[in-house]
Amino acid sequence: MLNGSRPQEIKQAKAEVEQTKAELEKSQKFMERSKNLYERKVVSAQDWDTNRTSYEVAMGRYKAAQERYALVKEGPRKEEIGQAEERSKGQRPLSL
């Protein structure tokens, strides 16, 4: 905990941001196409609603992934480190 997040955790969080960004971009394209087709009365309102909702869900996932990445990059808070140090002081070493 004193050393911060592991490099693997940071890489994993960054990969999640990249993946959710790609999903968001794909969802945005579907939504825009669907809106255009809905305005021309080619697709139903249900199709338009479904694609719009998918975009909103993708946006939420992307924002959550960004927040998680920021937290992992930042590492543990000073309070968490202090609490971990206090807990470790109370533990006795294992005797063999």
Instruction: Give CA–CA dist 24/36, Å, rounded.
Output: 18
User: What pLDDT shows up at residue 75?
Assistant: 83
Q: Say if residue 8's pLDDT is above 50.
A: yes
Other residues' Cβ atoms within 10 Å of the Cβ of residue 21: 15
Whole-number mean pLDDT of the chain? 86
- Mean pLDDT score, 11-19: 97
Write out the H or E segment, with its range, that includes residue 94. Answer: none
Are the beta carbons of 10 and 73 closer than 8 angstroms?
yes
- Mean pLDDT score, 9-16: 96
Q: What are the structural domains, with CATH classification, of the chain?
A: 7-73 (1.10.287)
Half-sphere exposure of 25 (CA within 13 A, CB side): 6
User: What pLDDT shows up at residue 26?
Assistant: 98
pLDDT in tens, 39-77: 999 999 999 999 999 999 999 999 999 999 999 998 875
